[in-house]
């Protein structure tokens, strides 16, 4: 299917609309302020002096942080005709500095221009091409939103230089980028400008990966195998997702079945063997990477926010090939859980990592170089602050994930109150999802409507006759409202027995939302709670969270008296466990948190 672009979709109300508004009114400014304070924007003046101890040396990836902020502004402008003109003025100022300091031959990189200009295109892992890719995405977005071509002109000149250096002259000291990203950006450049050399350059980087580089040719750099031979998600999880997305986009453009088959295998391995219940991926801080199948520790989970966003991008690219709801299911899972957990409720602070368990006592070992645990509170900025501007650019583009069209069939991939107009088709969806499961759909201009039936949904009702195809209820469109009710009764979810971290444990979901319990609501020793096989939860709407909270009747094991060990079965008492949406954890101070609980026998 062709997924509809976000500028054809207007999100009108509901939970995700609230997140977009939070981003537009608060988050985009907060990220700007932190980047200003840390010297990121100031580095564009190219005034670093290594002999001045007070001069701030730019980092190798600051270009990408700046680019993603500009790209985010472009999307906000595109979405909102009443946008704050001050945002545009700030972006214009940034772009003017980029234009001023671009080399005559088209080169642009802050670090290599002011710190080591003699070493450009010599270090595969120092993010030159990664930064270039993000600058290209920003350039496309800004020209599309404002009609101002300056940044696009700069990036076309830069892309032309990269083509000459890597393809024609072969004068760089490496062949493919250590951190993939430019591959997907170049395809966007090709689609936006029509210049095929950008598609060819993307194909060059993808085809040479795992073949041509002798430095850093391991899986952290996604260079352990040629891409068509890769069948296991390995190495740095964000790099993997960006590469796989580029591979899928390239396969679509050139009709490469072998590349598509590799993408299918990599997506399957990611989702079926290495994904958390929250949709998070990348289970270790060592290389921010995948490990082995079913190794999904909860307390040390890395599950970087950017990796979750990358999985959304990859899954959406796969929807372009296969009208299969499983890709939209994963997008929903990771968005509502593993991505939105990266943003605080006030929109000002962020998680880089998103663990599924916090036990404050365990963090004692951090001080002595033992096990490494993720931080327990969000921060407003990081030394490596890739996640905040990734959130600011994904939220205004959520419309990219809602609808699709293939011939005479219109697809409802996500349930969001919204309106869409595209190629003579009009669609309106009204819903309070995910507060409840009722969704009303009206489509004009196509013969059929395909509504996704989520994988989490065991029961639903639909007011039309339908056939079931690849996870979609396919309906002959008579122009009348389609009403679907998805049963969102809270339920127990089991983990595959091969996941040792979750052995004998269960978690709770309501609709697409994964739930957790925090010490601030339930006291210490959360592992003492035992959940029944079936739950009868009390549901309450929380104004603070904007979602439903649960109170789950259960039992709690009582501590022993007189010693730590006993041959007698622990005594239990009846109680209730207060549970909140996982994406809301760590918003009320430092506290324990658990997703997976022991199950009653």
Catalytically annotated residues: 288, 386
Residue ranges in 149-256 assigned as alpha helix (H): 150-163, 182-193, 196-208, 237-254
Give the DSSP H/E element, type plus range, for residue 316: helix 305-319
Rg (CA), the chain: 24
Q: Give the other-Cβ count within 10 Å of 108's Cβ.
A: 21
Identify the CA nearest to 106 among candidates 120, 123, 90: 120
Give the position of tokens 């490494």.
372
Contacts of 25 (CB under 8 A, 6+ apart): 347
Q: CA 282: distance to chain centroid? A: 12
DSSP code at position 129: H
Identify the CA nearest to 582 among candidates 370, 303, 197: 303
Q: Give the other-Cβ count within 10 Å of 306's Cβ.
A: 25
The two structure tokens encoding residue 596: 């997976």
Q: What is the dihedral of CA 131, 135, 137, 143, to 10 degrees?
A: 180
CA distances from 301 to 184, 276, 309, 363, 496 (A): 27, 9, 16, 14, 17
63 vs 76: CA distance, rounded Å: 20
403 vs 491: CA distance, rounded Å: 28
252 vs 46: CA distance, rounded Å: 40
CA distances from 339 to 241, 242, 287, 310 (A): 14, 16, 20, 10
**Reduced to 3 states, what is the DSSP secondary structure of residue 56?**
coil
Contacts of 221 (CB under 8 A, 6+ apart): 124, 125, 178, 179, 213, 235, 236, 239
**Reduced to 3 states, what is the DSSP secondary structure of residue 415?**
coil
Q: Give the other-Cβ count within 10 Å of 171's Cβ.
A: 9
473 vs 468: CA distance, rounded Å: 5
Buried b vs exposed e over 226-258: b needs ≥16 C-beta within 10 Å?
ebbebebbbbbbbbbbbbbbbbbbbbbeeebee
404 vs 327: CA distance, rounded Å: 12
β-bridge pairing 448-452 and 409-412: parallel
Buried b vs exposed e over 454-471: b needs ≥16 C-beta within 10 Å?
bebbeebebebebeeeeb
Give the position of tokens 């022993």.
560
The two structure tokens encoding residue 189: 């450049």
């Amino acid at each position: 299917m062709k997924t509809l672009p976000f500028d054809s979709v207007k999100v009108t109300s509901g939970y995700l609309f609230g997140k977009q508004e939070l981003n537009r009114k608060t988050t985009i400014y907060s990220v700007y302020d932190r980047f200003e304070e840390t010297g990121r924007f100031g580095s564009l003046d190219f005034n670093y002096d290594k002999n001045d101890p007070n001069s701030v040396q730019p980092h190798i990836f600051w270009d990408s942080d700046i680019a993603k902020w500009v790209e985010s502004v472009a999307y906000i402008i595109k979405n909102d005709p009443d946008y704050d003109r001050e945002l545009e003025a700030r972006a214009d100022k940034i772009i003017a500095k980029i234009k001023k300091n671009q080399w005559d031959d088209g080169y642009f990189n802050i670090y290599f221009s002011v710190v080591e200009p003699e070493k450009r295109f010599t270090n595969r892992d120092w993010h030159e091409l990664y930064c270039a890719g993000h600058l290209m995405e920003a350039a496309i977005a800004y020209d599309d939103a404002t009609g101002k071509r300056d940044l696009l002109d700069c990036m076309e000149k830069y892309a032309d230089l990269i083509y000459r250096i890597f393809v024609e002259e072969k004068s760089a000291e490496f062949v493919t980028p250590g951190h993939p990203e430019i591959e997907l950006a170049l395809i966007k450049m090709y689609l936006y400008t029509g210049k095929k050399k950008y598609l060819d350059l993307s194909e060059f980087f993808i085809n040479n990966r795992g073949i041509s580089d002798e430095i850093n040719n391991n899986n952290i750099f996604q260079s352990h195998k040629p891409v068509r031979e890769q069948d296991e998600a390995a190495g740095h999880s964000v790099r993997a997702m960006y590469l796989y997305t580029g591979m899928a986009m390239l396969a679509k453009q050139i009709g490469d079945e072998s590349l598509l088959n590799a993408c299918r295998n990599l997506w399957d391995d990611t989702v079926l063997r290495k994904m958390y219940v929250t949709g998070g991926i990348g289970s270790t801080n060592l290389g921010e990477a995948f490990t082995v199948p079913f190794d999904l520790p909860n307390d040390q989970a890395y599950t970087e926010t950017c990796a979750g966003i990358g999985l959304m991008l990859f899954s959406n690219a796969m929807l372009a090939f296969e009208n299969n709801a499983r890709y939209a299911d994963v997008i929903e899972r990771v968005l509502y859980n593993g991505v939105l957990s990266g943003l605080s409720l006030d929109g000002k602070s962020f998680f880089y990592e998103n663990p599924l368990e916090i036990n404050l006592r365990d963090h004692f070992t951090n001080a002595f170089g033992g096990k490494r645990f993720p931080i327990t509170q969000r921060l407003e900025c990081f030394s490596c602050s890739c996640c905040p501007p990734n959130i600011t650019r994904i939220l205004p583009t959520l419309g990219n994930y809602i609808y699709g069209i293939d011939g005479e069939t219109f697809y409802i991939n996500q349930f969001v109150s919204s309106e869409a107009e595209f190629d003579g088709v009009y669609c309106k969806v009204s819903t309070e999802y995910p507060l409840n499961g009722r969704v009303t759909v009206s489509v004009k201009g196509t013969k059929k409507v395909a509504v996704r039936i989520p994988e989490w949904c065991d029961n639903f009702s639909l007011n039309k006759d339908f056939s079931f195809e690849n996870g979609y209820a396919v309906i002959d469109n008579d122009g009348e409202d389609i009403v679907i009710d998805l049963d969102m009764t809270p339920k127990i979810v089991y983990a595959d027995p091969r996941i040792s971290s979750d052995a004998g444990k269960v978690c709770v979901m309501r609709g697409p939302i994964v739930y957790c319990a925090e010490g601030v609501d339930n006291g210490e020793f959360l592992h003492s709670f035992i959940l029944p096989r079936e739950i009868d939860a009390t549901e309450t709407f929380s104004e603070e969270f904007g979602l439903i909270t649960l109170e789950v009747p259960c039992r709690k094991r009582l501590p022993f008296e007189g010693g730590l060990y006993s041959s007698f079965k622990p005594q239990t008492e009846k109680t209730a466990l207060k549970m909140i949406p996982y994406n809301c954890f760590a918003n009320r101070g430092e506290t324990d948190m658990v997703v997976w609980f022991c199950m009653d026998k």
